[in-house]
Structure 1
Amino acid sequence: MTRSDPIHQIRYAVRHPGRIVPHLRRLARDTWIRLRTDDHVSYYRAVMKSDTARSPEAAVGSKSHARWLALGQMQFDYLVGHGLRPEHRMLEIGCGNLRAGRLFIDYLHGSGYYGLDISPDILVAAQHTLAEYGLREKLPHLTPVRDLRFAFLPDRHFDVVHAHSVFSHSPLHVIDECFAHVGRVMKPGGWFDFTFDRTEGREHQVLREDFYYRTETLLDLAARHGLAARFMDDWEKLPHKQSKIRITLP
Structure 2
Amino acid sequence: MLTKTISLVRSTIKKMVKSKQEIRHALVGAPNVWKYTRDFQFQFLLDKGLQKTDKLMDIGCGTLRGGIPMIKYLDTGNYYGLDVRKEVLDEGEKEVKGAQLEGKKPNLILLNHFSELNIDVQFDKIFAFSVLFHLEDEIAASCFQFVSKSLVSGGVFYANVNMGVFEDGNWVEFPVVFRSQEFYNNLAAKNGLEVLVMGSMLELGHDTKKNSDTQQIMLKFTKV
Q: TM-score, normalised by structure 1?
A: 0.74
Q: How far off is 1:181 after superposition?
A: 2.3
Cα deviation 1:153-176 (Å, max 9, x = unaligned): 125x11110111111211111111
Correspondence for 2:24 among 46, 56, 64: 56
Query: Tell me, what secondary structure is at the counterpart of 2:155?
Result: strand
Cα contact 2:111–2:117 (8 A) shared by 1: no
- 1:236 deviates by 3.9
Q: 1:96-153 CA distances to partner (integer Å, 9 max, x unpaired)? A: 1001100100000001101010000011100111111121110101110111236311
Question: Structure 1 residue 243: deviation in Å?
Answer: 1.6
Find out whether 1:180 has 2:138 as its counterpart: no
CA distance in 1, matches of 2:25, 2:83: 15
Bigger proportion of residues as strand: 2
Question: Which has the greater radius of gyration?
Answer: 1
The one-letter amino acid of 2:169's match is V
Q: What residue number does 2:159 align with?
A: 194
Identify the structure with the greater helix proportion.
1
* Stretches of 4+ aligned residues off by more than 6 angstroms: none
Aligned residue runs from structure 1 range 223-242, under 5 A: 223-233=189-199, 235-237=201-203, 238=205, 239=207, 241=212, 242=216
Percent of aligned pairs with the same amino acid: 25
Separation in structure 2 between the aligned mates of residue 46 and residue 158 of structure 1, nearest angstrom:
35
Residue 58 of structure 1 deviates from its aligned partner by 1.2
Decide whether the 8 Å contact of 1:168 with 1:210 is kept in 2. yes
Q: Structure 1: give runs of 5+ residues left out of the alignment.
A: 1-32, 34-42
Normalized against structure 2, the TM-score is what?
Answer: 0.83
* Partner Cα separation in structure 2 for residue 78 and residue 150 of structure 1: 30
Match of 1:60, as an amino acid?
V
Give the paired residue count.
203
Q: Distance in 2 between matches of 1:60 and 1:174?
A: 19
Aligned partners of 1:159 and 1:190 also within 8 Å: yes
Deviates more, 1:175-184 or 1:54-63: 54-63
